[in-house]
Amino acid sequence: MSRLIVVSNRVSAPVDPAGGSVGGLAMALAAALRKYHGLWFGWSGETVDTFTGELKVEDRAGVSVGLVDLEAQDVDEYYNGYANKTLWPLFHHRVDLTAYERSYGEGYERVNRRFAEVLEPLIEPDDIIWVHDYHLIPLARDLRRLGVRNRIGFFLHTPWPVRQLLVTLPHHRRLVESMFDYDLVGFHTREWLDLFRDYVAAEAGGTLTGNDGMAAFGRRVQGGVFPIGIDVDGFLQACNSPLGVRTYDRMLSSTAFRSLIVGVDRLDYSKGLEERLLGYEQFLKDNPAIRSEVLLLQVTPISRDEVDTYQDMRGRLDSLAGRINGAYAEMDWQPIRYLNRTYRRDQLAGIYRAARVGLVTPLRDGMNLVAKEYVCAQNPEDPGVLILSRFAGAAAEMTAALIVNPFSREELSDAIQRALTMPLAERRQRWSALMQVVRDTDVSTWRDAYVSALRQVEIDPAGTAAPGGPGSGRTRV
Ligand code: GDG
């Protein structure tokens, strides 16, 4: 069996196989690498004065990990710059927050080249390579230039933007063209793939085939839809673990029989946190008779704090939560518990289970795993209600949730009121349908579907047989 090489910006392989606070995605990729005896390659998270390209190889709980340090300028231009200040906001339709700096684009190209140069000597002829996310879009192009002819797949964890916004990016064609150096490009939903295909047809003058194949820039690439999910069994175990149960009990006693609403999101403008708090405030205003029977627990770990936009948003959220609490709190109750910290996965599972309502209201999101975790953690006899933004990728599958427009505070308020008063029979019915989706899209299903599609994707036989050299072995049209 050929090896699998996973490449992502950061390598989150768990040191401890039980995982602790490591997310389900990291656990699933680590399990895939154990199964296929592969390697996980990425940035170490460390910075050095001058880039050396030195590779550090470690074993982490049975997974081989290859790490490389970057220069401070690389981190500034590639990671904080092009990835997090340019592509992330643009792909989440926030052109108002997108930085169009030439130096960021140059740093992005440089780091992708550096990754390719360090990775290339490690690749064996039979390996298949799976590249993750927007940080590394041009990596296949750079590997091809070094003569790599292996199967290379790409998976985007974020949404793909509409063509009319993507074209605001200088060199947008170059970025999309580099995606044609992959054999397979995968997205969470049909909507994101269709937006990509729309660009290919309308902007790149490409040809679309019925089976999600695309031809443009003199090459062909296969597209695919691979909805990601959670590690269902692992999450159920976390829920039933001593700490999961203990956290559930603590939450019930600390809410003093009030209905708990929960939100769990990295601090990010794509998650619609300000809009959510305003919607909740509207609910408090609209429902004076029941409002003090409810409280919102919002768990929001700080992320990307080096980026100004995130710091500004943090300040606005602090003051919004403070203002709402100041206006509505009573001596023995406050409406919002707003926490900028992380919890272990088993604690999160206990928190979800104690919550009557899961509030997942991003303004735009590739998939959103919190929605699936919340459903998975529920007690089947007395399940809570998921309120889900129509703009999360998850809404395409989780249609039995209360689907809302997160931009409308009235709609959020109405949905919260409806969730809190929903009869048990309807809650059970909706939960069963949702849990079926969560099971059907388990993370191992996602992973195996992708790896198997990459193994099977059609490659031009003349291309694979061709001798080495830049660009050889590619699917040509
Ligand atoms: C990107 C895409 C796509 C959060 N707080 C804590 C904690 N978390 C965990 C959650 C969940 C994960 O982080 C967040 O995943 P999401 O999917 O909700 O969002 P992103 O981080 O933006 O992820 C997204 C995803 O990639 C996968 O493709 O779904 O659309 O944006 O698992 O539980 N985990 C722990 N403590 C916390 O306090 N342990």
198 included as an active-site residue? no
Compute the distance between CA of residue 274 and CA of residue 395 in angstroms, rounded to an integer.
Answer: 20
365 included as an active-site residue? yes
Domains located in the chain, CATH noted? 4-229+443-456 (3.40.50.2000), 232-440 (3.40.50.2000)
- 8 A C-beta contact, residue 386 and residue 401: yes
> What distance in angstroms lies between residue 211's CA and the mean position of ligand 1's atoms?
31
> What distance in angstroms lies between residue 465's CA and the mean position of ligand 1's atoms?
41
Compute the distance between CA of residue 256 and CA of residue 360 in angstroms, rounded to an integer.
Answer: 24
H or E segment at 32?
Answer: helix 24-36
Which residue has a Cα nearest atom 30 of ligand 1? Answer: 366
> What distance in angstroms lies between residue 136's CA and the mean position of ligand 1's atoms?
19
Compute the distance between CA of residue 310 and CA of residue 190 in angstroms, rounded to an integer.
Answer: 30
pLDDT tens track for 353-385:
999 999 999 999 999 999 999 999 999 999 999
pLDDT tens track for 36-52:
888 999 999 999 999 99
C-alpha distances (whole Å) from 47 to each of 37, 137, 256 are 29, 22, 48
Portion of the chain with pLDDT greater than 70, in percent: 94
Q: pLDDT at position 62, please?
A: 82
Least confident range from 256-265, 286-295, 404-413, 460-469: namely 460-469
> What distance in angstroms lies between residue 368's CA and the mean position of ligand 1's atoms?
7
When the pLDDT of each residue in the chain is averaged and rounded to a whole number, the result is 92
- Probe target for ligand 1 pocket from 230, 271, 367, with the most ligand atoms within 8 Å of CB: 367
Catalytic residue among 74, 133, 365, 442: 365
- 8 A C-beta contact, residue 439 and residue 446: no
For residue 122, the Cα-to-chain-centroid distance in whole angstroms is 27
One-character DSSP codes across 277-322: HHHHHHHHHH-TTTGGGEEEEEE-----TTSHHHHHHHHHHHHHHH
Residue type, 452: S
Which residues make Cβ contacts (< 8 Å) with residue 453, sequence separation at least 6? 153, 184, 186, 222, 224, 226
Compute the distance between CA of residue 30 and CA of residue 6 in angstroms, rounded to an integer.
Answer: 9
